[in-house]
Structure 1
Amino acid sequence: MIVVAGLTFAVAVLVIILTLLVRRQLREKYAVLWLTIGLILLILSIFPELLVGLTHLLGVQLPSNLIFALSIVLLVGVCLHLSWELSRAEDEIRRLAEETAILRADVDELQAERGTTPPPDDDLAVGEDQARG
């Protein structure tokens, strides 16, 4: 019964990962990690004695303790990686915002030299209308 539940869970994880990958909702670099985890789950579901052997090899008392410890290590690793990716994305967003501000200032300066007024910014106009009403 437990083997069937573990096997069902592993197959469900793999199907979800592949579905997200095909729909392009999960990037390939993350899919490799999750597919590896899914395959490990599948192997351990089919051959639970591997987990017991690994438990004895590492000196852990119970296989469930090993699973929890490995899960915690995995989750900490994923959190650190996502924090690193978020930091990189924030730096890129800040850099792009600065470049956009410089380019907008250059455009405004060129329009001022020509004596033309810049067209109204649709985003700002919508925001002002919402603020008034």
Structure 2
Amino acid sequence: MSISITMIIFSVLFLVFIIRLIKTATFTLEYSLMWLAIGTIMLVFSIFPQIPEYFANLFGFETMSNFLLVMAVLFSLLQLIIFTKYTTKQTDDIKSLIQEVSILKEKVKKEE
């Protein structure tokens, strides 16, 4: 079996997996759209390998695999930044909620 067919099958299976996760409400809408876009890009690149080849040549990469690896690393770094941002916001929200609950508990104790 050729590598293109293997990649097409893998991309379709990836999309099916993401769609199943969406149906079971495992992902929020914003994350599911991102993963659907990634799966679609994988499928398009599998069907038309000329596209990543063109970009690899455009940006001066010697091989398409080097280009795809760099893109994967950059995407992973972007994901880390986004998740760090959400984690920081959630940590701040949790801290604020704990403070509010503590204040409310203290008020309830004083009223009793």
TM range (shorter): over 0.9
Count residues in correspondence: 111
Q: Distance in 2 between matches of 1:28 and 1:5?
A: 29
**1:53 corresponds to which residue?**
54
Q: Secondary structure at the match of 1:6?
A: helix
Query: Scaled by the length of structure 1, what TM-score is found?
Result: 0.81
Compute the displacement of 1:108 (Å): 0.9
Q: Distance in 2 between matches of 1:43 and 1:87?
A: 35
Which structure is higher in RCO with an 8 Å CA cutoff and minimum separation 6? 2
List alignment gaps of at least 5 residues for structure 1.
112-133
Compute the displacement of 1:65 (Å): 0.1
Considering only aligned residues, what root-mean-square deviation do their CA atoms show, in Å? Answer: 0.8
Compute the displacement of 1:78 (Å): 0.2
Q: Secondary structure at the match of 1:106?
A: helix
Query: Is 1:75 matched up with 2:80?
Result: no
Q: Which amino acid aligns with 2:13?
A: A
Deviation per residue, 1:79-128 (Å, 9 max, x gap): 000000000000000000000000011111111xxxxxxxxxxxxxxxxx
Q: Distance in 1 between matches of 2:87 and 2:38?
A: 23
Q: Which amino acid aligns with 1:69?
A: V
Q: Secondary structure at the match of 2:105?
A: helix
Q: Which amino acid aligns with 1:57?
A: L
Identity, % of aligned pairs? 26
The structure with the largest alpha-carbon Rg is: 1
Deviation per residue, 1:35-78 (Å, 9 max, x gap): 11110000010111222122112211000000000000000000
Q: Secondary structure at the match of 2:61?
A: coil
Structure 1 residue ranges, 4+ long, deviating more than 6 angstroms after superposition: none
Query: Scaled by the length of structure 2, what TM-score is found?
Result: 0.95
List alignment gaps of at least 5 residues for structure 2.
none
